[in-house]
Structure 1
């Protein structure tokens, strides 16, 4: 999937995203489980919002995303912030040719954009190959509850002067999957007219035990499974599930 023009309004739409919570989670976990170093591979880095925060905290960060448009925004943002952020356009399920890292992350439910179990399994294997011995792998995903009880058949709207959108979610064809129809109205500053942009996104998740089994098969020890930025294990109504893993 390509984010196309969505990439250029993504930060506006994600203004309330908990980037600082992801940063605190990573810092806490990497200290608690003693990451072997500070080299971070930020997969699904999007517009670089978290990558740049990590750089400012002293981490050595490399960003990877499948979207050329997202990476263009990341590069522009890093340049404005005066930080060096190496960026690569790759599909995380086909990751190759990058150096070794101490920490790999897939945050903001980016893993849920992979459409098959095989793509998730391949991602785990490729991440394992790019990690240093005892390297940490941190990621979050939507829970099955989030997919089936929060998103399902819901419509979300936003209306501001420069951008408005209608975001409708429908059940997907596969178990625990959702299809998102998005219609954006973007203000053209020169003409004063609004441009209509349509996007179609698909997300899929799996029960926790599936992720755990695939992580073990890929060569990881699962150190913790928690929910919603807390230290608590997932419950029936948890929305976001966090996995902390170590390369064997």
Structure 2
């Protein structure tokens, strides 16, 4: 079942409460703190509909957006306007750039969508290959606490005049995999059209993240809670940000 196909065209409406501008501002603060502000060219992995790309482009950064979903990128290109943003339809675990960049981003738990641990390793490996020396890789994850206590096996619903959806979770704690079953009913000229999507996310522990980063030439230089500041995560934190710095080159795996 294709992910982020029909869903892409309603994604922005359904993520109205995501604080994109605060996220972009926090990313800039991380650049200032760990790269002395020496960041110009940024690649946003799993860029989605391009909202963070737009905010950072408006702040003067040269932006590249990578996403596996053509539908999401169609929306991103419509929203781009006159901004000079390059969008590439590629997998974040198997991508190719035209050169190196100063920083990578992978936000809004996109890392967790890599439900295969080999893909998780490959993403770090590819990021190292296309990152300038001492470049930054900034990403966030849904915490183990969130999977176990918030997402778990719960059901969520959303109801508006145009869209009704049911989001049902199935969390396999032993495997560390949460499957999301999404059913949408969308108002089209007074009639409701149904479509379904199925997504999966994997739990990535702090230990796994640090080992994978180190193996692929990175040092974790910062780990923060989800309030867009530099405070360490609380035990019940739902989202955790990481800042990793490239400290050496590693062999690119194919």
CA distance in 2, matches of 1:161, 1:98: 44
Please list, as runs of the form range in 1=range in 2, the aligned pairs for 1:82-121 lying within 5 A after superposition: 82-121=82-121
In structure 1, the residue matched to 2:27 is 26
Please list, as runs of the form range in 1=range in 2, the aligned pairs for 1:220-235 lying within 5 A after superposition: 220-228=218-226, 229-235=228-234
TM-score normalised per structure 1: 0.94
TM-score normalised per structure 2: 0.92
Deviation, 1:139, is 0.2
8 Å CA contact 2:56, 2:63 repeated in 1: yes
8 Å CA contact 2:32, 2:38 repeated in 1: no
Deviation, 1:216, is 0.6
8 Å CA contact 1:148, 1:176 repeated in 2: no
Structure 2: gaps of 5 or more residues: 248-254
CA distance in 2, matches of 1:218, 1:36: 22
**1:63-101 CA distance string (max 9 Å, x none):** 00011110111111113xx21221001111112243211
In structure 1, the residue matched to 2:144 is 144
CA distance in 2, matches of 1:196, 1:172: 27
SS at 1:214 equivalent:
helix
SS at 1:5 equivalent:
coil
Structure 1: gaps of 5 or more residues: none
CA distance in 2, matches of 1:148, 1:175: 12
Aligned residues: 244
CA distance in 2, matches of 1:231, 1:53: 21
Deviation, 1:162, is 1.1
In structure 2, the residue matched to 1:181 is 181
Please list, as runs of the form range in 1=range in 2, the aligned pairs for 1:193-204 lying within 5 A after superposition: 193-204=191-202
In structure 1, the residue matched to 2:128 is 128
After TM superposition, where is structure 1 displaced by more than 6 Å over at least 4 residues in a row? none
Q: Which has the higher helix share?
A: 1
